[in-house]
Structure 1
Amino acid sequence: MMTDRFAYSSKIVLYIIAAVMPLLAVPAPLGTDIGRDVAFVALTAIAGVLWLIGVLARGEMRYPVSPLLWAGAVLIAVWSASAAFSHAPFVSAFFAEAGAERLITLVAGLALMAATGGILKNRGAEADATAAHASAGTLLFVLIFSGAAAGLLTLYTFVVGPIGFLPTQPFFNVIGTVNGMTLLYAVLLMMTVGLLLSRAVEGWKTWVRAACAAAALIFLADIAFVHFWTAWILVLVASVCLFGLLLIDVSKHRPGDVSGDNVRRFGWRQWTALGLVIFSIAMIMAPGAIIGKLEAPAEISPSASATFSIAGNVFREGPLRVFLGSGPAMFGLDWAKYKDPAINQTAFWGVRFNQGQSWVATALPTGGILGLISLIGFFAVSLFVFLRILLSSSSAGDGTMQNRTGDPLVMSSFLGWVTLLIAAFLYPANTSLLLLLFFLAGLLAALLAVPAHAVPEMTEDARESEVSGDRLALAGRPSIWSIRERMVRFETPGMIFASSLVIIFCIALGIAALYGQVGRVRAALAADRGATAFNAGKIDDAIGLLERAVQYEPRNWRNVQMLTQARIGKVRSVIQRAAAGENVQQDFQSAVSLAIQDAQHLTAMHPQDPTLWRIQGSLYESIIPFIPGSERIAAGAYQRAIEREPLNPAAYVEWGRAGLVFADRLASAAQQAQGKEREDLEKARVQNLEQIVAIFQRAIQAKQDYAPAHFLLAQTAIRLGNLDAAIQSVENTKLIAPFDIGVAFQLGLLYYQKNDLARAQAEFERAISMNEQYANARYFLGLIYDRKKDRTRALEEFGRIAATNPDNQEIQRIIANVKAGKPALEGIVPPAVPPQQRTDVPVKEQEQRR
C-alpha cells in the first residue's frame, strides 16, 4: 500500500540520521559546521513530511503521549519569546555564529524527538509493537556501528596521521571540536556497554556480541587518546547509574516469597559496571594521557563564575532581560560588552567566546530565568518520567516482578541519554550532541510507551477512588507521568477537515525548511567562491558572487558582511588607481555609494555587533581624505562599537587612527591656506591630535601592552612636534611602572624615531624579556640589529616572528634580504612607508571568536 511506503520511507530517513550523526564528513566549501546543520535540519524535515503524508493518507495517527511533549512545548515557547525580544531576532533564530545555540537548532531537536516517537509507533505496515521494537533496535545498532566506523577513522588519524581524502583535518572529527568528539564517543561507549551488560545479550548471536565489544573498545581507545577530563566524568556518572540499574535488575522478587534465596548476587555484569566506575575514577585522577600525547588544538571556554557574572550584568539591563535574557546565541555579544577587564591582560584578550561554561550555564544570560527554568524543567521531567517507568515493576507471566531494565534497547538508550544530560551541565552546546539527546529521548518514548490496546477503560469507581499515580499504573491504567501510545482516527467530516488543515500546514512548514536549506547551501557555495576570488585580488568577481549569496539568503548578515568588506576593498582599489594618476571619479562615486548602502544595511540587520560598526567605521575612514564629514561618521561608528565592546583596545586604536587620517588632511589643507585660515586649520589639527592622544590612552588603559596603541601614540607625538617631551613623559612613566611592557615598547619606539638606536635596543630587549611573544618589539629589534650589521641576531629575531606569523609576506622578504646580505628593508621601503611612520603596526595582533 502507498501508506505503507510513506511509513517505511520515513523510517529509512531515521536510519540515515542515525548513520550520519557520528560519520557525516562534509567536504569543502560547505565545511563541517554548515554541512552538518543543513543535513540534520533537512533530514528531520524530510522524515517529518513523509510521516505526516502517511498519516494524512491513512486517516489515523499513533504517537507516544508523555509529559516530555508538554515540557518541550514550554521550552520552545519560552525560547521563542526570548528570540523575539532579542537584540537581533533573526540572528538569534537562524544566523548566529554559535549554531548549537540558535532557536532553529532547538526546534529541530524537539521536532526530531517527536518525529522519532511518531514514526516508530507508526502502524502503517506493522501489526504489533514487536516490529516497532525491532525498528528501534535497528536505529541503535546503526548509530553505534556508524560511530565505531568514525572511531576507527579517528584512531587512524591519531596514530598514523591525516587521511588525504577526508575533509576534516588533522583528525577525523565531524563534531566540531576534539573534546566534543570525545564526549560523543563517551555517549556511544555507555550505550554499547548498556547493550552488552543487559540480560538479553545472552540470546544474541556471538558475532553481534563480538562486534558490540569491539565497538566499545574503539570508543574507549578514542577517549583514552584525548584524555578529556569531562569525558571521564560522564563515563563515571553513567557507570554509576548503570551499576545501580543492574543491582535493581538482579533483584527478582516473587510475591509471598520470604525465603533467603532471594538475596542479591553479584554477577559478571555488576562486576564489569563496578570495574568501569573504578577505571573512570583512575582516569580522572591520572595526571596525563596514558596512550601517547595528542597534539590537538586547545579548547578554552569561560568558567562557570565568569558565565554567571555575564548573566548578572545582562540582568541589570532591565526586567525583560531578567526573565528572557539577551536572546538565543547572544552570549558572544554579552561577553564582548561585560567581560572581566582582567581578561585583557591574558592571551585571550581578543577572543570573543560565543558560549559560556556549558549549555545550561549559557542558558541563564541568553534565556534569562525563564529560559533556564524551562531547559532544566525539560531535563527534570524527562528524567523523572524515564526513571519512574524503568524502576516500576510489573508482574511477569511466571509470577516474578520485572522492570524495564532488562530490555537492552531501553538500557542502552537511557544510558546514552543520561550521559548527554550530564554533558549539558559540563560542556557548551554542540549541534550533534544536542540533536542526539533529543533523538534518544524520542527513541526512549517509543520504547517505553504503553500500547493503546493495553490501556483499559477507567470505570466510574476507579475515577472516584483516591488511588495514587504509581498504584494506578500498576493497576493497568497509566498515570499522567506515564508514556502512553495514543491513536487518533480522523473519521467524522469535521475531524477530517481540521486534521487535513493542520497536517498540510505542518507539511508546508517542513517543505519551507527544506527550501531554506537549499538556499543556504547555494549561498554558502557562492560566498565561498566570492571569498576565494577576493583573496585572489579579483574584487569585481568577488562582489558579483557575494551579491548572489545575499540574494539566496538575504537575511544572513554574514553574507552582507562579506559583501560590505569586498566593497570596501573596491573603494580602496579605486583610491589606489587615483593615486597612480587615473581619472576614477565616476567609479569612486559608484563604489562609495554601494559600499555605504551595504554598510548601513549591515548594521541595521545586527545593530548590537560591534564588529559590524567597526567595518562601517573603516569604510568612512578610507574616504576621509576625499569626502568632507566622513571623519564624523567614522568616529560615530567607532564610538558605537566601543559602546558595545568597551574593553576592546582595537576599537579605540581604529578610532584614533581615523583621527590621524583627518589630522593629516587638516595639515595638508593648512599648507595650502594662508593667514587666519591657516592658523585656524593648524589649531584644529592640534586639538584633534590632543583628542587622539586621549583615545590611544584609553586603549592602553584597556590593555597595557597593546602594541598598536603605543605605536600610534608615538606617531601622534611626532605629528605634534614634541618628540623630546613625549620621551620625557614616557621615561617618567617608566619610573612609576618599571615592569609595564607597553611602556617599554613605546619608549623604544620613540628612541627609534629619534634614531637613538642604543636606547631603543635596550627598551625593546626589556619588552621581550617580559613577553617573548612580543612580535612588534622583535621586529624593531631586528631592524636595529640589521642596521648595526649584526645579521645573525637580526635573522634570529625575524625568524622568531615568522614562526608565529607565517603569512606575513613582509617578514619573509626581510629574511630573504638579510640572508642575501642586503639591508632588511631593501625593496620594501620605498615604495612602502618606513615602519615607524605607518598608521599600523608591522605585525598585526589577531582577534578571534570561539
Structure 2
Amino acid sequence: MLILLSFLLPLWFLPFTQNILGYPKQVLLVIAVFAAFGIWLAGQMRSGTFTLRWGMLHWGAGAFLAATGISSIFSIWRYGSFWGWPLDIADSFLSVLCFAALFWLMSQQKEVRVIFSMATAFLVSSALAIVFAFLQFKGIFVLPLQSLQTANFQTLGTPNSIALLAGILVPLALGLSRSSQMFVRIGFTALALVLFGIAAFFNFADAWIVIMVGLGVLLAFEVSNKREHLQSFGTSLIMILIVVSVCFFFLRDFALPGAPSTPAEVSLNYAGEMEVIKGMAQENPLRILVGTGPGTFEFAYSLYRSASSNNSLFWNTRFSGGVAEGPDFLVTHGIAGFSAFLLLIILGAGFGTHWLYSQSAARKEVSAPKRVLKTLAQSSRIARVDLNKTGSGEMNMGVQEHALLTAMLAAFCAIVVAFFLYPGNIILWFLFWMLVGGIAFFISSKEFAFAFSRSPFVSLGVSFALLSVFVAQCGVLIIGGKGYAAQVSYAKAIHAARENKSQEAVRYLQSAVKQNGSVDVYQRELAQLFVIEGNRIAADSSLQGEERAQKVGAMVQGAIAAARKASSLVPENVANWNVQGVIYRNLIGVVGAENFAIESFQRAAQREPSSPFPWTEMARVRILQVQAADQNKAGAPSDERAKQVDEAVTYLGKAIALKGDYAAAHYLLAVAYSQQGKAQEAISKLEETKRIAPNDIGIAFQLGVIYRQEKNLPKAAAEFERAAILNPNYANARYMLGLVYDAQGKTLEALIEFEKVEELNPANEEVQKIIANLRNGKAALDGVSAQVSPLEENPPELSESEE
C-alpha cells in the first residue's frame, strides 16, 4: 500500500474541481495511509504479539504532531486548520497526522526492500510527472481533456516547485545508483541526469542551491567512506554536476535553447515576512508562541503586515504563503511548532549521519566476518550481510543499505534547504516525511514486544485502535466524498459565472453550500453571484414591475444572508467583511444599510489594519449617503449632512496616511471637498495626486469628471484623452470624452468615441441610444439618464468576482 501511494501521489489528480491537485492528493493520502495503518494493526493482531520499534526520531515526530495539534486548537479558523481546504492542504492537521502515520509505518517495517521500493517508486513517478510538466510548458499535451491542455496544469505545482523537486531528487537518484547491480546503477544515473537537465531548462536559482547542497552532502559521504567498492566514475560525475550547478547559479539570466516559457511567480520577500512575525510578537504574545494556525498565513499576513508594504506594486495582494516554508512555519505554528520542526530536522540529520559513520567505521575496523555480522546486527535489525557474496555480480545487502541511507540523507539535507528557500506543498512534505521515515527505519534500535496472551489490555487497545481506524476511514470517506462533490459544484459555478450565466452559477453554488456549508468561500462567492443575478433581473425588460421587484428583492435577501453566513463562519477573514460591506453599500437608500456597511468595513479594518481599502469604503458610504439625501427633495438636516461629510474626510485621512498614493482615496476626498462646497480644494487635491502618479489612469479619469462638473470642458477633454491614451480600451474614459465633445459641439468626434465604446460593450443599450441621438442631430444624453460611479480599487475577493 505504501509503495503504491509513493508512486501514485506525484501523478494523482481529479478533474472537474477548482482545486484539482491539493485536495485530491490529500484524499488519496488519507485513504492510503489509513488503510496501511489498519493493515499493520491487523498484522499485529494476527501475529499474536504487538511489536514496535522506537528511536529518537519518534520523539521529534511526536513533538511535531503535538505542536501542530496545539496550533490547530488555538487557530484563527479551526475548521480550515484541521481539514485544509480552502486553506493550505499540506499544512493541515489532517495531512500532518497522515504524514506522521506514514513515518510510523515506515519505521516499523521489517525489510529494507520496502523502504528501497518506496524511494524508487516515488523517484520514478516524480520523474514522470516532471517530464509531463516540461511537455505541458512546451505546449505538447498528452492528456485528452481539453481543460487540462494548458501550461498552467501540472500535477506537482508551480514551475519553481517543480524545479526544486527535480533538484532534490538528483542526489537521491545518484545515491541509489551506488548499488552494485550494474543495470540499477545505470538506470538511476540516467534518471538523475534527466532530472538535472530539466532543472537546467527551468534554471531556477534556488533549485541550483538545493542541488549543490544535496550533491555536496553525497560527495562528503562518498569521500569519507573510501572502501573497495568506491566508484570513481560516480564520484567524478557528482563533482562535474556540482561545477555545472555553480555555473548555472551565477548565470541566472541564461536560458537553454528550447527552454519552456513559464509564468512568473510573485511571492513575499524575507523582509516582508519578518515584518509579519514582528507584528505578531508585538500584538499578541500567544500568537507568536502557537501561531495563527496551520494554513492561516493569509489571515496572519492581513492582520500583521506592515503599512510599508503599501508602497509595493502588490500592496493589494494577500499572500497565502510567504517567502519560504521555514519562516511560514514560524507564523502559522509559532515558536513551539517551529522548534519542533527544527528538532525533527536536527534529529534526522544528526542521528542518520551518526549511524552511517558508525557503520562505515565498523566495516573498516573489523576484519573477521563474524564480528562484522555481530556489529551490524546489534545496530540494525535489517543488516544481513553474506560475506561470501561480495563479488561484482552479487547483491551485497550491506552496500545497498548504506547506499539507501546515504541517498536519503543527501535528499533530506536538500529538502531542508529547499524549505528555507521556497514554500512547500503536499508533494514536498510527503517526500520530507518519507525521508524522515526512511532514516528512522535505520536508526530505531529499541524494540518492544507485548504478547497479547500475557497483556490483555494491549490486545484490547490494539483492537480498539483497529476499530477506530476503520470508523475514522469511513468518516473521512463520507466527508471527503461530500467535499469533492461540493468542489465539483463550485468549479461548475465558477465556469458558469465566467460565461455570464449567473442564474446557473447561483444554482451550482447553492448545491456546493448544501454539500459543504462550512466553507466561507462558497458563501462569499454565492453572495456576490446573488448581486450579479439581481442586476441581471433588474435589467430584464421582459419582467413586469412587481414581478421584477420581487425577484430582485429575493436576490438581495439571498446576498445578505450568504454574506452574513460567510462572516459568521470565519469572522477573522477580512475578505468576508469586505464583501458584506460592499453588498450593504450597494443598498444605500434602504433604511439601516449604511450603518451595516460601516460596521462591516470597521470589522475589515480591524482584521487588515494596514489596508486603506476599508477606510476608503467607509468614506464612500458616507459620500453616497449624502448624494442620496441631496437627490431627495426633503434633503437631510444640514448638521447631519455636514457630520457625514466630515466623517468621510476623517476616514479618507486615515486611508491616505496608510497609502499616500491611493487614487481612490484622493478622488473621494476631492468629492467630499466638493460636497462641502470647496470646488477649488477638490481640483487642487486631484492635481496634487496627478503629480504623485502621472500615469495613473484612474486619476486622469476622475480629474476629468471634476473638470466636467465644473464646466471646464477643455481641461476635462484633455484628461479624458490622456486616460484613453494610457488605456485605449478604457470604455468609461471614451464614454466621458464623447460627452465632453458633444458639449463642445464636436459631434463627429463624439460619435467616433461612442462607436469605440460600442465595440467594447456591444450589448449596452444606453450607448446605442446615444449613438442614435448623435446621428439624428440630437444631444448625446437626450432621453438618457447616465451615472458615473466613483473610482474603485477592489481587493482580491471583489476583483475575482468581476472577472
TM-score range (shorter-chain normalised) is: 0.7 to 0.9
CA distance in 1, matches of 2:616, 2:52: 60
CA distance in 2, matches of 1:617, 1:549: 23
Query: Which residue of the partner structure matches residue 625 of structure 1?
Result: 589
User: Contact 1:782 / 1:798 at 8 angstroms: preserved in 2?
Assistant: no
Specify which of 285, 289, 295 is matched with residue 319 of structure 1: 285
Q: Is 1:424 aligned to 2:380, yes or no?
A: no
1:762, 1:630 → 2: CA distance?
Answer: 38
Structure 2 partner of 1:148:
127
1:688 aligns with 2:678: no
Alignment match, 1:282:
247
CA shift for structure 1 position 525 = 1.4
**CA distance 1:701–1:574, shift in 2 (3 Å):** farther
Structure 2 counterpart of 1:217, one-letter code: L
Partner of 2:320: 354
The equivalences for 1:135-214 within 5 A come to 135-163=114-142, 165=144, 167=148, 169-170=150-151, 173-196=154-177, 198=178, 200-201=179-180, 203-205=181-183, 208-214=184-190
The answer to whether the Cα contact below 8 Å between 1:92 and 1:103 also exists between their aligned partners in 2 is yes
Following the alignment from structure 1 to structure 2, what is the Cα–Cα distance between the partners of residues 105 and 625? 48
- Residue 172 of structure 2 aligns to which amino acid in structure 1? M
Write out aligned runs for 1:612-651 (5 A).
612-626=576-590, 628-651=591-614
Q: Deviations over 1:427-466 (max 9, x none)?
A: 11211101111122223333x15xxxxxxxxxxxxxxxxx
- The equivalent of 2:379 in structure 1 is none
Instruction: Name the residue aligned to 2:703.
Output: 747
> Counterparts in 2 of 1:757-768, with a 5 A limit?
757-760=713-716, 762-763=718-719
Map of 2:69 onto structure 1: 80
CA separation of 1:792/1:568 partners in 2, compared to 1, >3 Å: closer, same or farther? closer
**In structure 1, distance between residues paired with 2:712 and 2:163:** 55
> Offset at 1:239?
0.8
Q: 1 CA distance for matches of 2:780 and 2:169?
A: 57
Please tell me whether residue 71 in structure 1 is matched to residue 60 in structure 2: yes
C-alpha separation in 2, matches of 1:567 and 1:84? 34
Partner SS for 1:582: helix
Distance of 2:12 and 2:620 partners within structure 1:
46
Structure 2 matches for 1:324-473, cutoff 5 A? 324-393=290-359, 395=362, 398-399=367-368, 407-446=402-441, 448=442
Aligned 8 A contact 1:530 1:546 in 2: yes
Residues 503-541 of structure 1 show CA distances to partners (whole Å, capped at 9, x for unaligned) of 322332333233322221111112223334455555555
Distance 1:774 1:569, change over 3 A: closer
- Report the secondary structure of 1:250's partner residue: coil
Partners in 1 of 2:128 and 2:70 — Cα distance? 41
1:105 aligns with 2:95: yes
Q: Distance in 2 between matches of 1:136 and 1:699?
A: 58
Deviation at 1:227, TM superposition (A): 0.6
Q: Which residue is equivalent to 2:563?
A: 599
The Cα of 1:180 is off from its aligned counterpart by 0.7
Contact 1:490 1:499 in 2 (8 A): no
Q: Counterpart amino acid of 1:692?
A: A
Aligned mates of 2:682, 2:735 — CA distance in 1: 19
Aligned amino acid, residue 503 of structure 1: L
User: Does structure 2 conserve the Cα–Cα contact (< 8 Å) formed by 1:168 and 1:174?
Assistant: no
Task: Give the superposed CA RMSD.
Answer: 4.2
Amino acid at match of 1:604: S
> 1:185 & 1:662 partners in 2: Cα distance?
58
**Whole-angstrom distance in 2 between the partners of 1:793 and 1:289:** 51
How far off its partner does 1:177 sit? Answer: 0.9
After TM superposition, the score normalised by the length of structure 1 is: 0.79
Secondary structure, aligned partner of 1:390:
helix
CA displacement at 1:845 relative to structure 2: 7.9
Query: Residues of 1 paired with 2:222 and 2:53: CA distance?
Result: 27
Distance 1:515 1:427, change over 3 A: same
Counterpart for residue 21 of structure 2: 32
Encode CA deviations 1:341-382: one digit per residue, 9 max, x unaligned: 332232211111121221111122222221211111111112
Read off the aligned partner of 1:642 and give its amino acid letter.
A
- Aligned-pair CA distance for 1:66: 1.8
1:557–1:57: structure 2 CA closer, same or farther, 3 Å change rule?
Answer: farther
Distance across 2 between alignment mates of 1:832 and 1:562: 33
- Give the letter aligned to residue 15 of structure 1: I
Change (3 A) 1:658 1:828: farther
Structure 1 residue 577, shift from structure 2 partner: 6.8
Structure 1 residues 345 and 395, CA gap change in structure 2 (3 angstroms): closer
Q: 1:521 aligns with which of 461, 470, 484?
A: 484
1:41 equivalenced with 2:30 (yes/no):
yes
Q: Alpha carbons of 1:195 and 1:45: their partners in 2 closer, same or farther (altered >3 Å)?
A: same
Q: Which residue of 2 aligns with 1:489?
A: 451
Q: Could you tell me which amino acid in structure 2 is paired with residue 33 of structure 1?
A: G
Q: Which residue of 1 aligns with 2:221?
A: 245
Determine the structure 1 residue equivalent to 2:626. Answer: 663
Aligned equivalent of 1:470? none
In 1, the alpha carbon distance for the partners of 2:660 and 2:501 equals 39
What secondary structure, in the 3-state scheme, does the structure 2 residue paired with 1:82 have?
Answer: helix
Aligned-residue offset at 1:285: 0.8
TM-score, normalised relative to structure 2: 0.83
Structure 2 counterpart of 1:530, from 465, 484, 493: 493
Shift of 1:243: 0.5
Q: Structure 2: which 5+ residue stretches go unaligned? A: 377-397
Q: Distance in 2 between matches of 1:631 and 1:575?
A: 22
Q: Is the 8 A contact 1:249 1:405 kept in 2?
A: no
Q: Determine if contact 1:45/1:511 at 8 Å carries over to the other structure.
A: no
What is the match of residue 115 of structure 1? 105
C-alpha distance after superposition, 1:381-435 (max 9, x if no partner)? 1211211111112645854879878633323333222221211111112111011
Moved more, 173-182 or 489-498: 489-498
**What corresponds to 1:476 in structure 2?**
none
Aligned residues: 757
Residue in structure 2 matching 1:703, options 659, 677, 694: 659
- Aligned partners of 1:246 and 1:269 also within 8 Å: no
Q: What residue number does 1:507 align with?
A: 470
Residue pair 1:705, 1:740 contacting (<8 A) in 2 also: no
**Aligned twin of 2:524:** 561
How much does 1:59 deviate? Answer: 3.3
Aligned partner of 1:22 among 10, 34, 50: 10
CA deviation profile, 1:12-43 (whole Å, cap 9, x unmatched): x2222212232224323352232223222332
Separation in structure 1 between the aligned mates of residue 230 and residue 399 of structure 2, nearest angstrom: 19
Distance 1:773 1:239 in 2: 53
Q: 1:91 aligns with which of 80, 97, 101?
A: 80
Q: Classify 1:714/1:798 alpha carbon distance in 2 versus 1 (closer, same or farther; 3 Å).
A: farther
Offset of residue 192 of structure 1: 1.1
Q: Partner of 1:99: helix, strand, or coil?
A: coil
Post-superposition Cα deviations, 1:678-722, rounded to whole Å, max 9, x if no partner, equal 5x5455334323433443444344334444444544555555555
> For the Cα contact (< 8 Å) 2:605–2:614, is it kept in 1?
yes
Identity of paired residues, percent?
22
